[in-house]
Amino acid sequence: MVLALAHDIASGHYRPSGFTVFAVTDPKLREIFAPAFADRLVQQWLVQHIEPWWNKRFIDDSYANRQGKGTQAAIGRLQHFMRQPGHRWYCQLDIRAFFPSIDRRILLQLRQTALPKLPWPASTRQQLDQVATAIIQQSPTEPPPRRSGDIDLLARVPPHKSLFGAPPGVGMPIGSLTSQFFANVYLNELDQFVKHTLKVRGYIRYVDDFVLLADAPQTLLVHKARIEQFLQERLRLQLHPTKTVLQRCSQGADFLGAIVHPHHRLTRQRAVRALKRRLHWFRALVFPHDTHHPMQQPSGSWQRWLANHQAIHAHGYRAAAAHAGHPQQLLRHLWARQHLALAQAHLRARTRPPQNLLPAGRPQLPPPQNPQGMAALNKMSARLRVAQTRFENVAPRKPPHNT
């Protein structure tokens, strides 16, 4: 498969295949278009070649889908802005149905402008151009994607958030690596406008959710009007009419799952409840017969997490094949690996660990479904036994003498 993909890219005949579409509800109802495995490989190749150049052109205060960024870093940056003099007010804005509204023709123009500047030979740039063009021009709904999961849930996705009703040439699928990357390329135009034309110092963006800070609400309202005009004229986007927040920084900002104040942050109860549900789910997978913590069905995103680990978890290719369709066995296998990692950390520190690596009462791993899985689990068990033997032979570290 890899050689066939390489031949298609080298000859300029690469064409992505169709998607698999399903709906998720965490954190809200939306449709996900999952590309085929071969297309994911090509997307990784493409992004690895073009992302370093683009990262140097992105502003530092763009925090989504970038190495070294993320939600916690964005929250910390917002707190930094809130503490600065002249930032007593903030205005939080959101783009309405961002991914289904991306104009792929505008995105092609942005990519075409950057192509001659990429630091690659002409032949490589030509291959990158052909692959990027094929991915951007691909309609997520043609050929018709394979529907998966809860079909009734998929039918309840609002029309303005669905790609099935989008105009031709409009909309990028949620669920692809290239969609996340090209979303930053698309909104980099907004970032540059806010920073260099409006000259707003207090500005931070995470995907389509962004915050501006200033000393007076009148200033923020002027910025909002100009941003709204820019989005409509340059990017064919609209601000969400009911998700604009204008208030003092001292009142806190509901941003990325936290209530952000200048000197502290509070985790939203919705995030806490979601964490508890997932912990119960993991416990039920590991201990299916525990009646004190009943199983709660997870959302589609966590089902995908489990499927991904069944397929690609490090050192788990054979075990994943053995445990396919048996999440209890897989989670116990991963748990055993976590104990081994903890054991190795203790050995490096030269400290005496507890006498028993595995918790008391832990159920035994059920037999795998094929000989390859048996070999993988036997190897893991042997490594755990060797690690525990080494623990027992490590002399305890003497306490320091008081002086």
Give the closest residue to 116 by CA, choosing from 203, 50, 193, 186.
50
Max mean pLDDT among 134-143, 365-374, 383-392 falls in 134-143
Please give the share of the chain, as a percent, with pLDDT higher than 70. Answer: 70
**Strands across the sheet containing 265-267:** 253-255, 258-260, 265-267
344: its two tokens? 């190795």
Q: Do residues 163 and 140 lie in contact, with contact meaning Cβ atoms separated by under 8 Å?
A: yes
Q: Do residues 183 and 65 lie in contact, with contact meaning Cβ atoms separated by under 8 Å?
A: yes
pLDDT score at 240: 94
Q: Is the pLDDT of residue 113 over 60?
A: yes
The continuous run of DSSP H or E covering 317 comes out as helix 317-322
Question: Dihedral through CA 272, CA 273, CA 278, CA 284, nearest 10?
Answer: 130
The whole-model pTM stands at 0.71
Please give the share of the chain, as a percent, with pLDDT higher than 90. Answer: 48
Comparison of pLDDT for 227 and 397, the residue scoring more:
227
Count of beta carbons in the 10 Å neighbourhood of residue 190: 22
Q: What's the average model confidence in pLDDT over 171-194?
A: 94
